[in-house]
Amino acid sequence: MDHPIFTESVRRIRDWLGDTGLDPVQQEVLERLVHTSGDLAIAADLRFGHGACASGLLALAAGELILTDTAMAAAAVAPMAARTFANPVRSALDWAPALAPEGGTRAATGMALALAEHPRAVVLIGSAPTALERLLELAAEADSPVRPALVVGMPVGFVGVAESKRHLAESPLAQIRLEGSKGAALAAATVNALLRRAWLGR
């Protein structure tokens, strides 16, 4: 499944990282993020919620929907999903109105509508902190059915990003997040790493 160049890259990354103390699946996610970004410093910012990887692996292997905040993120995950468990991959923008509602964003509105249909989706957020905040609001409601199998919370930027990641950290949801302002393609890389591990371990 892996190209020799990728295999050699991962071997070198593992040598550079040294002993991380992560379990094998977490280690694979970290290595994928370093490979994607070229940044060894990511190791210091990566956080795993208890049981998050296991929950994500089970959901992906079961063919659960992968729900992204942008079309670009969906495009980055779709090829790996197609090669493995054929999970449907959709962007929350598929549910969004053509124009942003007053005081809101298309991503947040689309996320709410998507989660109403797919409350157990594997959710990856790499761009829109407003979508992450809306997800957290819905999950916190009394008797809410919204309980994603995994939230990959890696919105990128400088407005609302740190706050949304902090709110995710304070939530009980199964989560993988990246502290700081980095994100974007790294969220997709995280899901791709989990798809690969679930497929190889089937």
In the chain, the amino acid numbered 97 is P
Full DSSP string of 63-113: TPPEEESSHHHHHHHHHHHHHTT---EEEGGGTS-SSPPTTS-HHHHHHHH
What DSSP line would sit under 43-72, residue for residue?
GGTEEE-TTHHHHHHHHHHTTPPEEESSHH
From the candidates 3, 35, 50, 167, which is the catalytic residue? 35
Is 35 an annotated catalytic residue?
Answer: yes
Residues near 2 by beta carbon (within 8 Å), at least 6 away in sequence: none
**Residues tagged active-site:** 35
